[in-house]
Amino acid sequence: MTEARPGAPRRVAITGAGTINALGHDVAATFDAFREGRCGIGELQFRDVDRLSIRIGGQVRDYDPEAHFNRQQIALYDRFTQFTLLAARQAIDQSGLNFNGNLGYEAGVVLGTAAGGMNTWDDNYRLVYEEGKNRVHPFVVPKLMNSAAASHVSMEWNLRGPSFTVSTACASSNHAMGLAFQMVRSGACKAMVTGGSEAMLTFGGIKAWEGLRVMSRDACRPFSANRNGMVQGEGAGVFVFEDWDHARARGADILAEVIGFAMSSDASDIVMPSQQGAERAISGCLRDARLNPEEVGYINAHGTGTAANDKTESAAVAHAFGQHADRVMISSTKSMHGHIIGGTGAVELLACILALRDGIVAPTVGYEEPDPECALDVVPNVAREARVEVALSNAFAFGGLNAVIALRRA
Amino acid sequence: MSDSASVKDRVIAIIAEQAVLDPEQVTLDSSLEDLGIDSLGLVESIFAIEEAFDISVPFNANDPSQSEFDISSVAAIVAAVEKLIAGQTA
């Protein structure tokens, strides 16, 4: 192995992946659902759901916190932190890395979340406002902090380098993973634990979303002409990004290579997306990864299932890819796991890994009617076998914060 | 309070506030677009109407034209609100 000169960009390997979401409690179960085109969206089950007009979501089922955490931990871990820790454990176990020695000083954790400890806010507001209690549990603050999950990951695995949380609404995870990628590529860190988590399926969380009137009451049908809004999910996705040479030297199994990342801001509207802003992020990512559009085989779309996003994203992809837009496959797995908001980019990166590693392109399920404004190959309803060399993952958040990441087959 | 004139005046007052116009400037045949109300302003107007009349307006921002609630003009909105109020008391 030749030693790269100091300061030269490093290659970045993904050596571990973990998840818990509506499709399953680990990567294998999620891959199975992607292969089968299985939808994890169903009736929401939580307190006061009968007072909501939106009653469907991609909820994590059959989840028992006590099977994973002791009583003291549960007192400190909001649901979004629990999801993060479970996904991080899978990813770090798979990577085989041990951070207890010097490596711990050269490794950190960057995670995305939009709402952080929403369950903790919701439960405790209920106690003081609705039930009139004048005392709350002493750990309410450390439990609800947006950065709590990153801190607990750092503590659990002795990650002593740069650790923080980014919050850019629906692009949080992509921004987090992009920053982690840049830190490994620049040589600032040997490894980063990165991804994101969201657990907003609570009465207050969904009530707030209802107000915007962009939620569907029946299904998430991205790119389909009869789509009528987004469906929210919950869960986490966490990865280990590692210096390529470091991973190779220890004989690690490399799941994929991270090759590019770009961000842009629309600077225009707090909810409406901009084609130009999205396009600049896509083109910027291609440039960062030194890719021609023809090299990209698959795009995991932002694909929320709202009228506005899907047509804007389709136009942005069509323009950024030019003639190749007719050949690239693009699917929205939100149709299966729901929109996991700040954690969604992380769970969706799994679909890119599945495409690159196993040659299976996850479908856009719930697709019923072609929409001339979304005239791309959206891999409707059924997964497809294809050899994919490069995959992109799009995230375009409310407020015009865009982040696109590129992976290559390892 | 529930007579037609007052429903009309109150709907116009809500729309005028969103459009930052005087109520006299909001005519029955104007569309929300004419009045400079964008998608966020529309969602806020519908919220204000629901609160003012204690009704639930069937409206999905993804496809306003397919919603059961007609928003094509101020007159259409007034009529739709009156219908919803009538449906509630019936």
For residue A302, indicate whether it is catalytic: yes
pLDDT digits (tens, 9 = 90+) for A207-224: 999 999 999 999 999 999
Q: Are B63 and A212 inside 8 Å of each other by CB? A: no
Could you report how far apart the first and last alpha carbons of chain A are, in Å?
Answer: 17
**How far away is chain B from the Cα of A236, in angstroms, using its nearest Cα?**
27
Q: Are B63 and A216 inside 8 Å of each other by CB? A: no
Q: Are A214 and B61 inside 8 Å of each other by CB? A: yes
Confidence of residue B40 (pLDDT cuts 50, 70, 90): confident
CB A394 within 8 A of CB A404: yes
pLDDT digits (tens, 9 = 90+) for A301-328: 999 999 999 999 999 999 999 999 999 9
B1 has pLDDT over 60: no
pTM of the model: 0.94
**How far away is chain A from the Cα of B35, in angstroms, using its nearest Cα?**
19
For residue A319, indicate whether it is catalytic: no
Using an 8 Å CB-CB cutoff, list chain A residues near B60. 213-214, 216, 228-229
Region A356-368 average pLDDT: 98
Looking at residue B77, its pLDDT comes to 96
A296 has pLDDT over 50: yes
For residue A339, indicate whether it is catalytic: yes
Residue A266 backbone zone (phi > 0: left; psi -120 to 50: alpha; other: beta): alpha
Domain ranges (residues) in chain B:
4-89
Amino acid identity at B1: M
A1 has pLDDT over 50: no
Region B66-77 average pLDDT: 89
Residue from A220, A339, A352, A374 carrying the catalytic annotation: A339
Nearest Cα residue in chain A from B38: A272
Using an 8 Å CB-CB cutoff, list chain B residues near A306. 62
Q: Are B60 and A227 inside 8 Å of each other by CB? A: no
Looking at the DSSP bridge assignments, the partners of residue A58 are A233
Confidence of residue B39 (pLDDT cuts 50, 70, 90): confident
Looking at residue A4, its pLDDT comes to 56
CA distance A213 to B50: 13
Tell me which of A207, A213, A373 to substitute to probe the interface with B (most B C-beta atoms closer than 10 Å): A213
Length of chain B: 90
Q: Are A227 and B61 inside 8 Å of each other by CB? A: no
CA dihedral A85, A89, A91, A97 (to 10 degrees): 130
Q: Which superfamily is assigned to B4-89 in CATH? A: ACP-like (1.10.1200.10)
Q: Write down all domains in chain A, each with its CATH number in brackets.
A: 13-249 (3.40.47.10), 259-408 (3.40.47.10)
How far does CA A118 lie from the centroid of its chain? Answer: 18
Tell me which residue in A53, A228, A272 faces B63 most closely, judged by beta carbons. Answer: A228
